[in-house]
Amino acid sequence: MLKNIPPILSPELLKTLCEMGHSDRIVIADGNFPAESMGKNARVIRCDGHGVPELLDAILTLLPLDTYVEKPVSLMQVMPGDNAKTPIWETYKEIVSRHDERGESAVGYIERFEFYEQAKTAYAIVATGEKAVYANVMLQKGVV
């Protein structure tokens, strides 16, 4: 056991966060995200049974966000014509604001297919059981 480590972070996820370097990206994916096919060149870490918000909060207690980019937190944009509601985004902004002084201005949006392309180059993808739609979030690691 270790002190001050959020218990939701598995040893595998902790190891991955530690191994990541400056500007590496990690995707925390909702339950609909094609984690295995997008993550063929990444580490795919299963966190079934957990939602994105609690994992995002735990990860950001340890992972610094990149200060050399304007938007180190990226959300997948809703497709035009899709009437999906995304109240979970407000939760994400609150969580980011607790961990980064830029607050919600650190959060940007990426078109869906571009998000997939960027996810293919991520260092890791965390597959969750999150049921909210458009609940994927990509973080770019900074320096300590």
Catalytic machinery residues:
22, 66, 116
Measure the CA–CA gap between 118 and 97, rounded to whole angstroms: 24
Q: Which helix (H) or strand (E) holds 115?
A: helix 112-119
Report helix angle 52-60 to 88-99, nearest 10.
Answer: 10
Separation of alpha carbons 122 and 105, rounded Å:
22
Residues 6+ apart with CB under 8 A from 57: 6, 95, 98, 99
Query: What torsion, rounded to 10 degrees, do the Cα atoms 54, 108, 73, 97 define?
Result: -60
